[in-house]
């Protein structure tokens, strides 16, 4: 029922409602909360980017191939909600929130197992690192990982 409602909201371009619905269920159902408010979101985005730079967030092809599949139903539901929240945040004009959700998607795949959406998360983060942050090397490595996930 959740998936059908989210699909209807996105199809009808109700991105604000879709975003709120996804974030509400991520918080209440899964315990995956996101900072709200301009300052909180900016701090969370800064910290997320710093974590992405410090830890091994860009996996090699072999490490990607060795990730176990994400199979736990609650985690699968969470990552699907995050996929929709990423898109909805973008179209709702919430780029900082989009970045926070996006980095969480990557963190979840590294922690809980491979999900096919890892490729699109890496591809989007590649664009952020290249065109927003100016870190072309990290962006290129993320883009290469995205291509590998898609194969």
pLDDT in tens, 44-99: 777 777 777 665 667 888 888 898 999 999 999 899 889 988 988 888 888 888 88
Q: What average pLDDT does range 102-114 have in this prediction?
A: 89
CA atoms within 13 A on the CB side of 61: 6
Tell me the H-state helices in 12-135.
15-25, 38-54, 61-66, 73-91, 95-112, 118-127
Per-residue pLDDT at 96: 84
Q: CA-CA distances (angstroms) from residue 69 to 40, 112, 130?
A: 32, 8, 29
Dist. CA 30–CA 51, nearest whole Å: 22
Answer whether 88's CB lies under 8 Å from 22's CB. yes
Looking at the DSSP bridge assignments, the partners of residue 69 are: 114
At residue 70, the pLDDT reads 93
pLDDT at 28: 84
**Two structure tokens written together for 118:** 């890892």
Give the chain's mean pLDDT: 82
Q: In the prediction, which pLDDT does 49 show?
A: 72
Q: Are 59 and 110 in contact (CB under 8 A)?
A: yes
| CA 94 from centre of chain | 14
pLDDT given at position 129 = 85
Percent of the chain at pLDDT above 90? 9
13 or 109, higher pLDDT? 109
Given this model, what pLDDT does residue 63 score? Answer: 86
Q: Write down the pLDDT at residue 150.
A: 77
Q: What is the pTM of this model?
A: 0.78
């Amino acid at each position: 029922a959740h998936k059908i409602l989210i699909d209807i909201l996105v199809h009808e371009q109700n991105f604000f409602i879709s975003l709120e619905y996804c974030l509400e269920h991520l918080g209440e159902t899964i315990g995956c909360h996101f900072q709200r408010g301009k300052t909180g979101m900016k701090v969370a985005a800064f910290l997320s980017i710093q974590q992405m730079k410090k830890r091994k967030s860009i996996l090699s092809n072999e490490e990607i191939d060795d990730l176990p599949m994400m199979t736990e139903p609650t985690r699968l539901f969470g990552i699907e909600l995050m996929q929709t929240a990423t898109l909805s945040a973008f179209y709702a004009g919430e780029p900082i929130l989009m970045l926070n959700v996006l980095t969480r998607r990557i963190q979840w795949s590294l922690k809980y197992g491979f999900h096919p959406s890892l490729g699109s998360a890496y591809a989007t983060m590649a664009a952020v690192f290249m065109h927003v942050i100016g870190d072309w090397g990290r962006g290129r490595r993320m883009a290469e990982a995205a291509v590998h996930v898609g194969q």
